[in-house]
Amino acid sequence: MGRSPCCEKGHTNKGAWTREEDELLIAYIQAHGEGCWRSLPKAAGLLRCGKSCRLRWINYLRPDLKRGNFTDEEDELIVKLHSLLGNKWSIIAARLPGRTDNEIKNHWNTHIKRKLLSRGIDPLTHRQINEQAATRSIDRASSAAVLRQDAKTDNEFPYLNQNNPDGEKYPDLNLELQISPPSSHPPRKEETTDIKIICFCSSLGLQNSKGCTCGAVGIEHLRFYA
């Protein structure tokens, strides 16, 4: 039945990691690789919860981390992906080599969100705030015109200023969400209605890229089931 508990909470350190702890964790993972996080702390001589070790490694100690300031291109990509995915930080992070979900989440909350708001863009909906208020009465064409007039946005996030309404905001992206089941399990007819499939590699024009193994052209390997 099941497995034994994750960690002995009474005997673990908390708070900031010390240099010694970092060194122990790095040394252990370099010698044994990333494996069972549960048993790692004991094996590595750490008084930490396995979860804490995993987080420390993934967010801070991993050698392939980029660190440093986000570039404008990264900012732009984050906004694009966020407009498609919402707060799916891990998926967004997967498209930004060397960046972690936590890092991106923090960057979003401290920088990008504010930047969008200062441009009059709702970071939740990625629409012009005044446009939103008027959305009910303004047609899509005029909304696009509002976007076009925002020269600042043009400079900061050029993609936000495409002469396209909604899904056509990103001419370089395929924003079409297809609705269908996993290919290996053909759905019953009644199941297909609310099942969505999307390949973000393809959507971003990155099909056949390193991170995309689906091999699809314009179709989809990230799957969401309703």
Partner DNA sequence: AATACTGGCAACCGCCAAGTA
Partner DNA sequence: TTACTTGGCGGTTGCCAGTAT
Nearer to DNA, 102 or 180 (CB): 102
Q: Which residue among 8, 23, 71, 106 contacts DNA (CB under 7 A)?
A: 106
Query: How far apart are alpha carbons 113 and 79 in whole angstroms?
Result: 9
- For position 148 contacting DNA by CB under 7 A, the verdict is no
Q: Which stretch, 3-11, 76-84, 117-125, 207-215, contacts DNA (CB under 7 A)? A: 3-11
| Contacts with 203 (C-beta within 8 Å, 6 or more apart), sequence order | 84, 173, 174, 175
How many residues lie near DNA (CB under 7 A)? 38
- For position 128 contacting DNA by CB under 7 A, the verdict is no
- The alpha carbon torsion through 220, 176, 108, 76 (nearest 10 deg) reads 100
Nearer to DNA, 72 or 168 (CB): 72
Measured from the CB of residue 39, what is the shortest distance to DNA in angstroms?
7
| Contacts with 168 (C-beta within 8 Å, 6 or more apart), sequence order | 162, 175
Neighbouring C-alpha atoms within 13 Å toward the C-beta of 114: 5
Query: How far apart are alpha carbons 222 and 201 in whole angstroms?
Result: 9
Q: Which residue among 60, 120, 146, 165 contacts DNA (CB under 7 A)?
A: 60
Q: Applying CB under 7 A, which residues contact DNA?
A: 1-7, 13-17, 36-38, 50-52, 54-56, 59-60, 87-91, 101-103, 105-107, 109-111, 114
